[in-house]
Structure 1
Amino acid sequence: MKYILSWQDSAHNTGGVKAKKDAELFLNEEGFTAIKIPTGRVKKLLYVLFKLPFVLMRIRLGVIVVQFPTGTWTILDLITRYVKNLSGAKLVYIIHDIETLRYWSESNNNRKKEIELRLLKRADGIISLNAKMTEWLRSKGVKVPIENMRIWDYDNPQPVRKIEEYNRTVGLAGNLDKVQFLKKIPSDINIYVYGPNKESDYPDNIKYVGNFSPDLLPLKFKENFGLVWDGDEVNACSGPLGNYLKYNDPHKLSMYLSSGIPVVIWSKAATAEFVKNVKVGILIDNLNSLNTELDNINEDEYKIMCSNAVNLSKKMRKGYFLKTALQNLIKQL
C-alpha cells in the first residue's frame, strides 16, 4: 500500500501551500491513500499524539510519503519516529525546502541545522528537487536512495496562454516582502509585479498589478516572460534567499511554464540548466542587461520558446515529474 500524510498549512495564496496540495493531488492519482490530519493547531496536535500512532500501527507494508518540512520540527520528529517505529512502511520525503540552505546558511545556530539534518537522515528514500540539492544532501552524509524531481509540477486550472505579440515585457510573481532587488532595478527596465506584501513606494518602472490566488494568477499574468530572481541585488542573486536559488526549484517557475510562459532566470540557479535544455527561456547573469537580452530575441525565437513551454506544460499539469521520480524511487526501496 501507498500512503501520503495530508497536512493542511494555515497560509494562503503562497506557492508553498500550492505545491503541497498539488503533490497530494498527483499522488492520489497514483493510488496513494491520504492519512488526513485535521485542521487547527490543537486538533493537529491531539491527532498526532493520540490517534496517528494507532493509524500507523495498522500499516504493515508499503510506503508513507511525508512532505518535508511539515508542521514544527517537534511535530515532524514525532510523525517520522512513529512511521519508522510503529508502522512497517518505508518513510519517503518529498522535499519542498531545506531551511539550512534557505534561512540558516549564514547562521551560527548549529542546533537547528543538526535537527534538520537528523530528520533528513531518518528517511528511507527522498525525492529531491534537483541535482544540486542532491549533491548537498550527499555532502552532509545522507546515504539513502534519492531521485531528482527536476521541476515542480503544477495543477493549473487555467488554459495555456496563446502566443501573443512579442513586446519585451517581463513580470514577477511572488511574496513581495522578500523581493528587495526591485528598488535597485535601473529606471529604464520595467517589471510588472504580482503578489502579497507589496511596498508602498516602488519606483515608477515597477508596476504593481495585484495579488491573486495561485489558481487565478496564470489567468492574470500578461507579460511575455516570467522572472525568476531573488535576493537583494540586481547584479547577481545575493543574500540567503538569492543563494538559495542555487539549490531550490522556485514554484513561480512552474506557474510560468505550466501556463506556457517562457522565463528569464538567473544563470546560476539550480533550474537554469533545465530551462536551457528544454529551450523555454533566457539565462541571465545580471538584471542590468535585461533590456539588451530581450532585444536580442526576435519574434520567431520567442514563439519557439512559447511552443516549447506549452509542450512542457502538458507534462507539468499531469504531475509527470513527481510521479516519475517517485516511481523510480519506490523501485529502489
Structure 2
Amino acid sequence: MRKIIVALKRKNVNNAGTKAKNDIEYFLAKDGFEKLDIDLNDIDCLDFVHSSLDNSESKMIVVQYGGVALPIIKKILRCIKKIPNSKVILILHDVESLRSFKSNKFSFLEKIKSKLEINIFNSVDILIVHNEVMKKKLLLIGVKSRMESIEIFDYFNSNIVLPRENVKNNKICFAGELSKSKFLLDFNTKKYELDLFGPNPAEKYGEGVSYLGEYKSSELPEHLNQSYGLVWDGTSLETCEGFVGKYLMYNNPHKTSLYLSCGLPVIIWDQAAIAKFVDKYNLGFTIGTLNNLDKFMSTITDDEYFKIKKNCMEMSYKIREGFFIRDAVVRSIKRLQ
C-alpha cells in the first residue's frame, strides 16, 4: 500500500496554521508517508495531483483541511477520489460550520458555506476530528462519514530544553493572535504576571500584563519559561464569549499543544472541549471565569503543582514525537482496510 500526504500550500506563506500542518507532514513521514507538494498558485495543480497518483497500486491518501477556499479543496478532493484504489483521510484543522455556529442561527451566506463544508466532509472515506465533542456536533449537523478523534494536536519542538520539574514562578503565558483576544484588555492581576506573545498587541494592557514580543513558531518555545499557559479566548473575563470564545467548545487550540510541548501546566476554560483532555491526564486547571484568577491561583499548593508539572513533562514527550496524529492515522487506516 502506498501512503501519501498531500501538502496544499502557497509559496511564501508562514503562520501558526502552517506550523500545525507542517508538523503533521513531518510526523507522518516517520511512518512511511511520502509527501506530495501542491502549489495552490499553480493553475495546473489538479492535473498534477491526478498524474502523480494515477496508478493501479492501492493508496491511502491524507489531506489536511483548513486555510484553503472551499471550492478549491472540493475540486482537489473530487480529483483524488477519481483515482482507482484510493482511500482519503481528511484531517480537520478549522471547521467553519462550528466556528460560525451560534444558537442554531446562520446567515444566508453561512448556511451556504456550511452546506458546502458538510458535503466536502461527506465526500471522503474518514475524517480525523479534534475530539469527541466535535465528532458529536458534526454528526448532529449532517456529517455521515466515519470519524476518528485525535484528542490533541502534536507540536514538533526540537530546540528547547524542558524546564526543571522543581521550578515554579508566578508567571502565566498567553500566546496567539492578540487582537482577537479582547478579554486581555480587561485583564488585571496583582499576585501573578501575565506575559503575552504574538502579533497585533494593544497599545496598553492592565496591571500585571506584559507584552514580550512576537516570535516564529519554531522559536517561541524558547521564551516560555513561565509556570502556566493560559487557554482562553473571546471578549470577556467572565466566560469565553463571541465566535472565537465559543469555538473553544469544539476545537483543540494549538496553543494548548504549544504549552504542553514545553511541559507547562495549562489554565483553561472549563467548558472548552479540550478541558476534558486536561482533566483526563491531570495536566492543569479548569476554571469557569478569570475574574477570580488571583484567588484561585493562591489555592494551588506546591505539591499539587509539581504533581501536575510532572504529568505535563511526560505528556510533552508524546506531543513532541507526534504520538496523537500517528495513532489517529493508524486507527483510521485499520477502519478503511
TM-score w.r.t. the length of structure 2 is: 0.93
Alignment-mate amino acid for residue 227 of structure 1: L
Q: State how 1:141-156 maps to structure 2 within 5 Å.
A: 141-156=142-157
Matched residue SS, 1:265: strand
Q: In 1, distance between residues paired with 2:136 and 2:81?
A: 25
Q: In 1, distance between residues paired with 2:7 and 2:156?
A: 17
Is residue 2:249 matched to residue 1:246?
yes
1:36 — aligned with what? 37
Q: Do the aligned partners of 1:168 and 1:294 also contact (CA within 8 Å) in 2?
A: no
Q: 1:173 aligns with which of 172, 175, 186?
A: 175
Q: In 2, distance between residues paired with 1:323 and 1:28?
A: 10
Q: In 2, distance between residues paired with 1:60 and 1:197?
A: 49
- The 1:199/1:86 distance shift into structure 2, 3 A limit, reads same
Q: Do the aligned partners of 2:187 and 2:205 also contact (CA within 8 Å) in 1?
A: no
Cα deviation per residue 1:24-78 (whole Å; 9 max; x = unaligned)?
A: 011111101111113xx532x3222x32222232264121110012522121011
Q: State how 1:78-117 maps to structure 2 within 5 Å.
A: 78-103=75-100, 105=102, 107-108=106-107, 109=109, 110-117=111-118
After TM superposition, the structure 1 stretch with the greater mean CA deviation from structure 2, 53-62 or 68-77, is 53-62
Q: In 2, distance between residues paired with 1:35 and 1:254?
A: 26
Q: In 2, distance between residues paired with 1:89 and 1:292?
A: 56
2:314 — aligned with what? 311
1:68 — aligned with what? 65
2:262 — aligned with what? 259
After TM superposition, the structure 1 stretch with the greater mean CA deviation from structure 2, 155-164 or 314-323, is 155-164
Q: Do the aligned partners of 2:170 and 2:193 also contact (CA within 8 Å) in 1?
A: no
After TM superposition, the structure 1 stretch with the greater mean CA deviation from structure 2, 278-287 or 50-59, is 50-59
Q: In 1, distance between residues paired with 2:324 and 2:204?
A: 40
- The 1:154/1:247 distance shift into structure 2, 3 A limit, reads same
Alignment-mate amino acid for residue 47 of structure 1: C
Q: Do the aligned partners of 1:2 and 1:31 also contact (CA within 8 Å) in 2?
A: yes
Q: In 1, distance between residues paired with 2:137 and 2:101?
A: 14
Q: State how 1:284-303 maps to structure 2 within 5 Å.
A: 284-303=287-306
Give, in angstroms, the shift of residue 241 of structure 1.
Answer: 0.6
Q: Do the aligned partners of 1:175 and 1:197 also contact (CA within 8 Å) in 2?
A: yes
Q: In 2, distance between residues paired with 1:154 and 1:179?
A: 22
Q: In 1, distance between residues paired with 2:224 and 2:100?
A: 29
Matched residue SS, 1:214: coil
Give, in angstroms, the shift of residue 291 of structure 1.
Answer: 1.0
Alignment-mate amino acid for residue 140 of structure 1: I
2:233 — aligned with what? 230
- The 1:166/1:103 distance shift into structure 2, 3 A limit, reads same
Cα deviation per residue 1:99-146 (whole Å; 9 max; x = unaligned)?
A: 111245464121111111111111101111100110011112322221
Alignment-mate amino acid for residue 174 of structure 2: L
Q: Do the aligned partners of 1:169 and 1:223 also contact (CA within 8 Å) in 2?
A: yes
TM-score w.r.t. the length of structure 1 is: 0.94
Report how many residues are paired. Answer: 328
Cα deviation per residue 1:189-248 (whole Å; 9 max; x = unaligned)?
A: 642100111112223432100101111111101211000000010000001110000001
CA RMSD of aligned residues (A): 1.7
After TM superposition, the structure 1 stretch with the greater mean CA deviation from structure 2, 198-207 or 309-318, is 198-207
Give, in angstroms, the shift of residue 164 of structure 1.
Answer: 5.2
Alignment-mate amino acid for residue 185 of structure 1: F
- The 1:297/1:235 distance shift into structure 2, 3 A limit, reads same
Q: In 1, distance between residues paired with 2:32 and 2:56?
A: 16
Q: Do the aligned partners of 2:188 and 2:206 also contact (CA within 8 Å) in 1?
A: no
1:47 — aligned with what? 45
Q: State how 1:125-136 maps to structure 2 within 5 Å.
A: 125-136=126-137
Matched residue SS, 2:128: strand
After TM superposition, the structure 1 stretch with the greater mean CA deviation from structure 2, 88-97 or 58-67, is 58-67
Structure 1 unaligned regions, length at least 5:
none
Q: In 2, distance between residues paired with 1:6 and 1:47?
A: 11
Is residue 2:292 matched to residue 1:282?
no
Task: Give the ranges of 4+ consecutive aligned residues of structure 1 lying more than 3 Å apart after TM superposition.
Answer: 103-107, 186-190
Cα deviation per residue 1:73-92 (whole Å; 9 max; x = unaligned)?
A: 12101110011123421111
After TM superposition, the structure 1 stretch with the greater mean CA deviation from structure 2, 209-218 or 106-115, is 106-115
Q: State how 1:182-201 maps to structure 2 within 5 Å.
A: 182-186=184-188, 188=190, 190-201=193-204
Q: Percent sequence identity over matched residues?
A: 33
Alignment-mate amino acid for residue 50 of structure 2: P
Q: Do the aligned partners of 1:266 and 1:285 also contact (CA within 8 Å) in 2?
A: yes
After TM superposition, the structure 1 stretch with the greater mean CA deviation from structure 2, 103-112 or 20-29, is 103-112
Alignment-mate amino acid for residue 93 of structure 1: L
